Structure formats: C-alpha cells, structure tokens
Amino acid sequence: MKITLDSFLLLTFLWLTAACQPKQKVDYIIHNVRLFDGVEVREEVSVVVDDGKIVDITSEIGRYIAEEVIEAGGYTIIPPLIDAHVHISSLAQLHASLREGVFAVVDLHSPPGVANKLKASRDSFLHASLLSSGPALTVAGGHGTQFGAPIPTVTKEREPRTFVADRVKEGADLLKIIREPMLPTLDYETIGALIKASHQFDKLAVGHISTAGDATKISELGIDVVSHIWLDRKMTDEELSLLQEKKPFVIPTLLVTRELLQFREKQGGANHYLPFQDIRQEVNRLHKAGITLLAGTDAPNLGLKFGESLITEMKLLVSVGLSETEALKTATVKPIQAFGLDQNLLPRRGHSANFILVEGNPTVDITSLQKIKEVWVMGKRTKK
C-alpha cells in the first residue's frame, strides 16, 4: 500500500498527539479478566476502577496509570449474588452473606420489627442489603406461627387491605402470603384480596405454596412470585399453560426441598411427596416453558448456610437443565428485574464497583463459584 506524504504527516501528528495526552490516574486495573455483566460474557478485558466506580471496561489500558494492576488471567468478574428467599434474624447473617458474595437478600418472613432494626444498623461495606416482607400474612395456627415469635394474623373481622396497610406502615418492601393446606390457611378469596391490596400499595406479592393446585390458583389470582416448588404431584399441562400465561416468577428452593425430603424420609413420612427426581423434572418443565426462575435458599431452615447454600442452589438448577449462564442469571440480573433492585449492582461502565472475582469460569462451570478470590464492595476489596 502506498502512503502519501500527507498521509504520513497526518499519522505522525495523530501519534504524537496521543503520546502527549496526559494519562489518567486510577486506583485499580483488573487486567485480562473475563467479565459476565449479567447479560453477556466478554473475554480478556480490563476493568478500570477509580473512586469506587467502574470508569472503563476496555482492551486498551495505555491511557491509564493505576495505583495497582491486578493480573487476572483465568479469573472471571461476575455481578453480586442475590438470594431471593431467606429468613433473617441477625446482622451476623447479613455479614456472612456478603462475605460469600451475596450482596442482597430477600427476607420472606421475620418477627415484627426485626427487619427494620437490622436495616437501621446495617453497615453497607460489611453487610448484605435487606429487602423484607416482615411477618408473613397468615392465619392463627397457620404456617409461620409455629416458630415461637408472636406475629399478627389475618382475621375475618378486618378487611384484607388493612393487614397489607399495616405491613406497609411497618416498612415492608413486599408482601408474603401463605397458602399451606397442611395447617390452617388463608382461603382463596382472602388471598385474592391481599394480592389486590398489595398491588394498590405498589408492592409485590409473594406466595408460599406446597401444592401444584395452589401454585396454579394463586397465579390465576395475580401473584407476582411463587415461592417453593410443589411437592404433591406433577402439574398438568393445562396448569403449566396458565403459569405461562400469568408469568409469575418462581423460586424453586430446590436445596431446602431436597433436605426436607431427606428429613421426612428418616421419619418415615415421605411417601406422600413426589420423589426428588420428579421435583427436579417439574423445575425443568418450568424452565422449558419460559417461566423465570429465581435462586433462593430458605436459609437458615434445615441448617442451610447463608451465601454458601446459594451456590449449591445454582448447582442444582444446572442439574435440572439450566445452562451455567442461565443459572447465574437466576441469582443476579433476574432478581434485580423481579424485585426492582438497583441496576448499579451490575458490573458495567459508570456503575459502582460491586462485583465478585472468581477463579475459573462459572459461565461454563458453575462449581467455580466455590473459588471466590475477592469480593468488591463499592470499590473496596475483601479477600476470601
């Protein structure tokens, strides 16, 4: 190719101009890393962090001078994890969650006032964020009342909207509605009214279920999120079609379900439940039907550990047919969408430096999540 004198002079001028540009000083460059931003995977990029923010994601770092360059070949940056179903009672649990890369948890039943107290004393660098329903909406003697702490229960003497209003005044971020026929439970008419009232207050309604029929009915009534997979029987194709139409998010809680079945089997009372293999197949059917799944653990029930159990839950979701990337989305971008969380939690240019650095590639091997090297919280690094 022939280069004219004018072209040569122009190229020389551009090179000299670039060479004379002052370099931007930054705090960190994470070099040659794989990045999963919640949607796509990018290979061999550099993530530039300054003053707690991601200022650039680039393959060219020549214009930066960093206080520290972290060579990250073979490592992956992923978004913060979110556990869509827990029960929180202490700051220690929020601290344990964040150390494992779980930046936010959704508390779906806690005694009155506990969540507000924890929110008020939470340190954003040491503890996971907390969304909470406060006490679940249930009846006297119903599921949720058996744990010792007194909670208000729904009665026929007051309008369902009053109970929802009470929870909202108490600071509930969303509403948890119990349908559990093994104990006294709410009837469908009341559940429908509670869902309607939740929406009037612009709050999501999350429904606890254990049967396929209840999952179908509360979806028909307009529930936003179904928590738990059903245990009694396989869902019919017609019922599954209704869920496809209504599009609730579903939190299968596979790990705690497996632990429950093993516990019942030791007691000799597992005969009336579906085998776990059939339950896994039901979750596979939901996935194939295009129903959005969210990863939730129900920790600390049955000894499940905060943070650690969420990784096991994602491994189980992979075992039922989700790809590794799809499983990662159930604990990152999908709960952000479902619960209206801050998009700033995703590792993208201009966002706060909130992310996890993992050895290996969890987008092809979910077990890599067991090798977290560092957790970054608003630009601060915490080593595992």
Check residue 268 and give its pLDDT.
75
Whole-angstrom Cα distance, residue 185 to residue 319? Answer: 33
Sorted by sequence, the CB contacts under 8 Å of residue 199 that are 6+ apart come out as 205, 222
pLDDT at residue 17 tops 70:
no
Check residue 145 and give its pLDDT.
86
Please name the helix (run of DSSP H) or strand (run of DSSP E) that holds residue 241, with its range, or none: helix 237-246
The pLDDT confidence band at residue 150, using thresholds 50, 70 and 90, is confident
CATH 2.60.60.20 for the 19-77+346-383 domain, yes or no: no
In 79-179, at which residue ranges do the beta strands (DSSP E only) sit? Answer: 81-86, 102-107, 129-132, 175-178
Q: What is the pLDDT of residues 22-39, one digit of tens each?
A: 789 999 999 999 999 999
pLDDT at residue 19 tops 90:
no
> What CATH number has the domain spanning 80-344?
3.20.20.140
Spell out the domain ranges in the chain: 19-77+346-383, 80-344
Q: What percent of the chain has pLDDT over 90?
A: 85
The pLDDT confidence band at residue 343, using thresholds 50, 70 and 90, is confident
Check residue 265 and give its pLDDT.
85
Report the candidate in 154, 114, 148, 146 with the shortest Cα–Cα distance to residue 130: 114
Q: What is the pLDDT of residues 43-57, one digit of tens each?
A: 999 999 999 999 999
Check residue 272 and give its pLDDT.
82
Whole-angstrom Cα distance, residue 240 to residue 318? Answer: 21
Q: What is the pLDDT of residues 184-205, one digit of tens each?
A: 999 999 999 999 999 999 999 9
Residue with more model confidence, 221 or 383: 221
Return the number of other C-beta atoms located less than 10 Å from residue 100's C-beta.
22
Check residue 5 and give its pLDDT.
52
Check residue 2 and give its pLDDT.
47
- Cβ proximity of 369 and 324 under 8 Å: no
pLDDT at residue 109 tops 90:
yes
pLDDT at residue 243 tops 70:
yes
Q: What is the pLDDT of residues 67-103, one digit of tens each?
A: 999 999 999 999 999 999 999 999 999 999 999 999 9
Check residue 14 and give its pLDDT.
45
What is the three-class DSSP state of 303?
helix
Check residue 146 and give its pLDDT.
83
pLDDT at residue 60 tops 50:
yes
Written as six digits, the tokens of 227 are: 């928590």
The pLDDT confidence band at residue 1, using thresholds 50, 70 and 90, is very low
The pLDDT confidence band at residue 6, using thresholds 50, 70 and 90, is low
Check residue 21 and give its pLDDT.
62
Check residue 16 and give its pLDDT.
47
State mean pLDDT over 333-339. Answer: 97
Check residue 267 and give its pLDDT.
80
